[in-house]
Structure 1
Amino acid sequence: MAWEKGTSSARENTPLLPNQLKSEPLSSSSKSFGNILIAIVGAGVLGLPYTFMKTGWLAGIIILGIVAGLTYYCMMLLVWTKRKLEKEGFVKIGSFGDVGFIVSGPIGKGMVDSMIVLSQAGFCVSYFIFVANTLSSLFFRNEENEHYLYGSKILGLEASKLFIWAVLPFQLGLNAIRTLTHLAPFSIFADVVEILAMVVLMIEDVVTYVRNMPYLEAFTNFSIIPYGVGVAVYAFEGIGMVLPLETVTDQKHRFGGILGLALIFITAVYGAFGLLGYLAFGSETKDIITLNFGKNLLTDLVQVALSINLFFSLPLMMNPVHEIVESRLNGGQYSFPLRALSVSLTSLVAFFVPNFSDFLSLVGSSVCSVLGFVLPAIFHLLACRRDCSLVQICVDILIIFFGVVFGVAGTISSVKQIFFADVV
């Protein structure tokens, strides 16, 4: 018995590595490590200092560690499920959606596809927000360096909202490109820029902390914990890339170790970035940490670089959405109207979202928790229950239960932060 993927079926393979699944030399351990970093590290890191302010610095570190551990385990659940299915005769399993289809039929694949569409579109909403807010900060900050977002208007419209519409036509053009091969160099550039920008920002954080030394809280309020979990889940989301990367790894028996090392490294970087940002600005930490820095040439260059990074990453992140939508509604054929509609709806959501980090928590809680925890545990339980011990079965059930509970709690907490911040 074999599972053969149709050429027109939608895939959630990351757009960051458009040719790796097609070209046969396999990835070395070092390349696999780098590809995992590319697949996971994204704009979510910029909201971590604000999240640490909300939860407290010690609570934030603990949350990151727990989410990282659960993320690793659930990613490996997906790998183990794939290998179990391959032993049973299924071949060419290369994506999360493939596993969902084999285990649960069209319903399983539909669940994976819908969660991927929502998560990827959610990432792009945050990209729109960041680029628009950063451009507004650069062009509409007063001499006292006060925050512009809640006052500056152009023709009666907030400056940040205007920039969302200003960016939209360019994104429609970039998303119209049929093949991502032409955008691949921008992916590499984007990741290099992001790493350099994070280093610069952390150095600035240390300098600012030494100068200001604000009051910090280790824990704030237990009710805000689900909010912090949502942001952390968003920051670690990348499970759609696990099977494509495992497929092209030359030493598959080492993939689990490589994945573990990569997640330990990412957790350390996330923890340092979130902690230093909160250390520098305390209760004044803003939802996008770059907005805290004074207006000077270095910080302006960092903000411009990050904006360019996310501007060119946005069409790459929208590609899985386009593939799934075109597969479902247009027989897998290219459709510019469908792509334009998807991008326009994404920008419309960004237009009405008031806070970057609050939105990260909402997406992480409502979508990424299902995609990253609940579905892998369900698929593993269905596919491997006959070979699992009672302990493994109980662990799967607990992951499903807590994934749902924290997903609901985090969604409620995020909605309160977005719409009812005064009562939280």
Structure 2
Amino acid sequence: MGDELKSSTIPLLESSSTGTASKIQTLGNIIVSVVGTGILGLPFAFRIAGWLAGSLGVLAAGTATYYCMLLLVQCKEKLASQELTPETETYGDLGYKCMGSTGRYLTEFLIFIAQCGGAVAYLVFIGQNLSSVFKGHGLSLSSFIFLLVPIEIALSWIHSLSSLAPFSIFADICNLLAMAVVVKEDLDKVISGGFRFGDRKAITSSIGGLPFAAGMAVFCFEGFGMTLSLEASMKERGGFASLLAKAFSGITLLYVLFGFSGYMAYGDETKDIITLNLPNNWSTIAVQVGLCLGLAFTFPIMAHPIHEIVEGKLRNSEWLRKVCYKDAAFHLKLFGSSLRFWEKALDYIFLIGGLLFAAHGTYNSIVGF
């Protein structure tokens, strides 16, 4: 009975190891996984550390992150090459095979907290910028976040990284255009502002300056939690290391240019977020809207490791198996492999909604007595 149930179980979300993404799709997902809001603080980090120390710090952080991601893939390949060792798909699998149940729980907990924190930060950042752009229209920060959440939930249902690639590429374009506008404003400031290179320090004399800049540089390279999923999503996994190297080379050089130009433009007046230095005109609005769009379509990528962890726990839950495969969800069980995405989504809405209403009704009945 247990084997029959196991064989008939339909995963809540599509596995990330199907290997359907092309190199271009994976490249788009890598870029959108790595580039985040931290880049806006790079010019300030260059001000604190100095333009030379800041540049070297970004190069070191990018190289270290790339190397550690490769080590992670090598660990996965090492385990996969061992006899009788099944496919390692997630961080939890890797943690379990290296350190047992403690390794799985600790790894999944850290990934879950990190990705949830990033996802919440994205929502707050988008809400703050939209409320700033559209102030006076009667919508508060919480209202914008409330309107955004259903959209992000819908996008997060797309669990396949190859299917998310178009959204990732669109997010990359939005982020790139926003950064291009910022760099243009920086160059205009340098040209018209009586710029003197000698006024910009190369290395800070402050003891705490370098550690702060190093921390900011590390923060800029997000996406470490997506390493295994990105590698597993590729059709040709052998080319992942080379593709990752190209992506990190471009991103690192872009980061250095962004931080350097921002600090050169504003010097000691560089704000902790570079957009605060921009004039209050269309360029600032364009940057804010571009970043909001980019982060809105980055959110599903940020939520991807969370889905893997939660789905794994739900799939192994005896309670969920009883509910989904004995008492209800007959349509999903019989037609799951042939259903369209919207049909599956609708089935889950009915299933979850029914369970919630049943629980609510039961609670009210008990409280009524």
Q: Could you tell me the TM-score, scaled by structure 1's length? A: 0.62
Cα displacement string for residues 69-118 of structure 1 (whole angstroms, at most 9, x for unaligned residues): 21122111111111111111323222222211211122212222122122
1:81 aligns with 2:75: yes
1:168 aligns with 2:145: yes
1:63 and 1:287 mapped to 2: Cα distance? 17
Q: CA, structure 1 residues 19+308, in 2 after alignment: closer, same or farther (shift >3 Å)?
A: farther
Equivalent residue of 2:66, what SS? helix
Work out whether residues 16 and 232 of structure 2, in 8 Å CA contact, stay in contact via their aligned partners in 1.
no
Amino acid at match of 1:217: K
2:178 alignment partner, one of 197, 221, 226: 197
1:179 aligns with 2:157: yes
Cα displacement string for residues 154-187 of structure 1 (whole angstroms, at most 9, x for unaligned residues): xxxxx9xx94322231244235437126994544
Aligned length: 307
Q: CA deviation at 1:31?
A: 4.2
Determine the structure 1 residue equivalent to 2:121: 126
Work out whether residues 90 and 308 of structure 2, in 8 Å CA contact, stay in contact via their aligned partners in 1.
no
Q: CA deviation at 1:130?
A: 2.8
Q: Which has the higher helix share?
A: 2
Q: CA, structure 1 residues 68+261, in 2 after alignment: closer, same or farther (shift >3 Å)?
A: same
Q: CA, structure 1 residues 181+68, in 2 after alignment: closer, same or farther (shift >3 Å)?
A: closer
Determine the structure 2 residue equivalent to 1:228: 213
Determine the structure 2 residue equivalent to 1:264: 249
Amino acid at match of 1:295: N
Work out whether residues 131 and 307 of structure 1, in 8 Å CA contact, stay in contact via their aligned partners in 2.
yes
Equivalent residue of 1:116, what SS? helix
2:33 and 2:52 mapped to 1: Cα distance? 27
Determine the structure 2 residue equivalent to 1:209: 190
Identity in percent: 36
Equivalent residue of 2:208, what SS? helix
1:35 alignment partner, one of 9, 29, 37: 29
* Structure 1: gaps of 5 or more residues: 12-17, 142-158, 338-424
Give RMSD over aligned pairs.
3.6
Work out whether residues 174 and 315 of structure 1, in 8 Å CA contact, stay in contact via their aligned partners in 2.
no
Work out whether residues 8 and 327 of structure 1, in 8 Å CA contact, stay in contact via their aligned partners in 2.
no
Q: CA deviation at 1:267?
A: 0.6
1:47 aligns with 2:41: yes
1:191 and 1:254 mapped to 2: Cα distance? 21
Work out whether residues 11 and 315 of structure 2, in 8 Å CA contact, stay in contact via their aligned partners in 1.
no
1:10 and 1:224 mapped to 2: Cα distance? 47
Work out whether residues 31 and 172 of structure 2, in 8 Å CA contact, stay in contact via their aligned partners in 1.
no
1:318 and 1:71 mapped to 2: Cα distance? 20
Determine the structure 2 residue equivalent to 1:301: 286
1:265 and 1:7 mapped to 2: Cα distance? 42
2:304 and 2:21 mapped to 1: Cα distance? 23
2:15 and 2:271 mapped to 1: Cα distance? 38
Q: CA, structure 1 residues 275+114, in 2 after alignment: closer, same or farther (shift >3 Å)?
A: same
Q: CA, structure 1 residues 69+181, in 2 after alignment: closer, same or farther (shift >3 Å)?
A: closer
1:218 aligns with 2:202: yes
Equivalent residue of 1:222, what SS? coil
Write the mapping of 1:339-354 to structure 2, written as runs, cut at 5 A.
Answer: none
1:109 aligns with 2:93: no
Equivalent residue of 1:286, what SS? coil
Work out whether residues 8 and 331 of structure 1, in 8 Å CA contact, stay in contact via their aligned partners in 2.
no
Cα displacement string for residues 109-140 of structure 1 (whole angstroms, at most 9, x for unaligned residues): 22221221222123234324433443454356
Amino acid at match of 2:77: R
Work out whether residues 131 and 310 of structure 1, in 8 Å CA contact, stay in contact via their aligned partners in 2.
yes
Determine the structure 2 residue equivalent to 1:91: 86
Work out whether residues 131 and 141 of structure 2, in 8 Å CA contact, stay in contact via their aligned partners in 1.
no
1:207 and 1:317 mapped to 2: Cα distance? 34
Q: Could you tell me the TM-score, scaled by structure 2's length? A: 0.71
Greater Rg by CA: 2
1:137 and 1:176 mapped to 2: Cα distance? 24
